[in-house]
Each structure stands twice: as structure tokens, then as C-alpha cells.
Amino acid sequence: MNTKILVTGGAGYIGSHTTVELQNAGYEVIIADNLSNSRIEVIDGIERITGIRPVFEQIDCSDEHMVREVLDKHRVKGIIHFAASKAVGESVQKPLMYYRNNIDSLLNFLEVMPVYGVKGLVFSSSCTVYGQPDVLPVTEQSPIRPATSPYGNTKQIDEEIIRDAIHAGHPYKSIILRYFNPIGAHPSAEIGELPIGIPQNLVPFLTQTAAGIRDKLAVFGNDYNTPDGSCIRDYINVVDLSRAHVVAMNRIINSQSEPIEYYNLGTGKGLSVLQLISLFEKATGVKVPYTIVGRREGDIEQIWADPSHANKVLGWKAVETIEDTLRSAWRWQQKLK
Ligand code: UD1
């Protein structure tokens, strides 16, 4: 029998790509998702890619009773916890919803895991915990800065909750993955990012503009202290990112990991917004009309990862090129259209 893994938020963007990689690696995946920001058709896409339909449980992970039921029914060995609200702007408008969703669900799993003998939890965190670092690239030892949004704060608080539970001797391990900017889609274009409403993130807005759904991409600021004045981020292919979760889960299942480990998941290369637009145009041959507007509140100027810890300890490295990644995002957009 294959080892069972629970993927919360498995119908979402990163969760669906990770489910594909886990199934390809021989794990049996149970998805727990309330479909609040995803669609059930994603499960069909996963099945078309892998030939295996993951078990799907429509539950709200902030409901302790439902969490207990799912863990009792499936007896998973590990959990990858993606289920969370993730829009920075919305979190400023609805902070309590963010604290409720993002913290209650984690507490439920941490409390219930020992009852069902779950070995460990891989947690989706974000480079947002570093704020604007003084020194670039950022390592896992870079200082944690005060969060600039309730969303960012939930990631910091969740990291602290996991740390405190493990320090108190809870009988499971955790690997905290700090993502930089995940972009792109599965090369098959069967799954990808499904932004509901007007996209807030750069790449979905860019591909919708290239497809003519939006008139113009607004570039938020060209007066930053960077070579071309626009913000710099570390854009990482979503399939590369997903593979790191499989490696992290293997470490937990094979009892190779420390009680708690932290990894930056990025490419190690920073790209500006203007560079990304130009790379997209070159990779796809499609023009992206854009205009420079004022800075977006809360944006940090520049950040990119030092991924050498993940490269060395996990033996994982981002391998997809930015051109292939942008082409995959474009193929997915064309399919959505
Ligand atoms: C943000 C969050 C990150 C979160 C991620 C996913 C912060 C500091 N960052 O990343 O934690 O995980 O969203 O939701 O809280 N841009 C434009 N025009 C647009 C959209 C974006 O110019 O229409 C620019 C932004 O100014 C930024 C870059 O593109 O420089 C990337 O933006 P975005 O994709 O929204 O991601 P982050 O803000 O980096």
C-alpha cells in the first residue's frame, strides 16, 4: 500500500501541482479543500496528467470536527498544509477572516496529528516574513521583520505556533517552506493558477493583458532604487516549487529531518517587473501593453533568495528556465480563454 499524504488546499494553485508531483512519486494523495478559492474541475486536470484521481474531501480545515473525521478516515502519514487565504489586500480589509482561516486550521492539525500518528507537517510559508531585507540575497538566518499585512502576519504567527509546539515536545516534525514568487503552470496546461476576479498578482494580470482581457498592465512604480526603477522579485516555476514539497515529505517520512527545518524556495535570481514583461514578450512573441503607475502600498522594493540551504540539504534546485515558465503561463491562459 502506498503512503498516504493529506494535501490541504490541494485544489488550489500550488496544492494541485504538488498533488501531481506526489502522485508521480508514488504517494497516495487525499485532498482536503473547501473550494472557497478553487474549482472541483482541478481534480479532473490532476487525473488527466497522472492517470490517478486523488481522493477528494470537501471540508473546511478550520472546523476541528471535520479535521478529526478526515484524519480518522484516511490515516495519513504526513500533511502538506496549503489551505489558507492569501490575498494581501483582502487581508487588510478582512483581518479577522484571515486570522480565523489561517490560524485555526493549523491549530486543528497540530492538535489532532498526535492522535492519529501523523509523522509531520510541511507548511507553506512565504518570503514575506523577511520584509525588506537589508542584505540580499536572503538566507534562512535573515532577520524576520514585522509583517506589513494581516496575511503576512498569519504566516509569521503560524511559523511561531509550529516552532513552539515542536519545542514543547509534540511528537511530529515540521518543514517550513518559504516561497518566493511562484509562477507558471503545469507544462500540460491541464492545471494552473485560477484567479477569481481581477488578478492581484503580476503574472496572471500580465497573461490576461496579453490575451486582451485587460487593456493594460499597470507597473507599480519605476522610481525604486533598482537598476530600471521597478521592483525585483525571485520568480520560481510552480512545478519546481512543488517538487521541493515531495523532497521535504520524503525527509519526514524517512525520519531524516530535524524536528523543525526551514528552507527558502527560490531560484536565487532577482528579476524586475520590466525585465519580466520583456522576457514574456520574447518567450511568447506576444506584446504586453503596459503603463507605469504609482507604487502599490505595502510593496517591498527588492528581494531574492539564497536557495543554497535547500540546494544542499534537500538536494533540490529550481531547474526550469524563466522563458519556459512564462510560456507555460501563456499556454494556460490561452486554454482558460
Ligand atoms: C505577494 C506577497 C506574498 C504572497 C504573494 C501571493 C508581500 C510582500 N508579498 O507577493 O507574500 O505570497 O503576494 O499572493 O506581502 N505588480 C505590478 N502590477 C501588477 C501586479 C504586481 O507591477 O498588476 C508588481 C508588484 O509591485 C511586485 C511584483 O509585480 O513588484 C510582484 O507582485 P505580486 O505578484 O503581487 O507578488 P508580491 O507582492 O511579490
H/E run at residue 24: helix 13-24
Q: Which residues are catalytic?
A: 151
**pLDDT-flagged residues of the chain (< 70):** none
pLDDT for 252 = 98
Q: Which atom of ligand 1 is nearest to the CA of 303?
A: 39
CA distance 119 to 172: 5
pLDDT for 136 = 98
How far, in Å, is the centroid of ligand 1 from the Cα of 43? Answer: 27
pLDDT for 269 = 98
pLDDT for 128 = 96
DSSP H stretches of helix in 168-259: 202-210, 238-253
- If one residue of 222, 288, 296, 302 were mutated to test the ligand 1 pocket, choosing by the most ligand atoms within 8 A of its CB, it would be 296
Strands (E), the chain: 4-8, 28-32, 55-57, 78-81, 120-126, 173-179, 181-183, 217-220, 232-233, 235-237, 260-265, 271-272, 290-293
Q: Which atom of ligand 1 is nearest to the CA of 295?
A: 26
pLDDT for 116 = 97
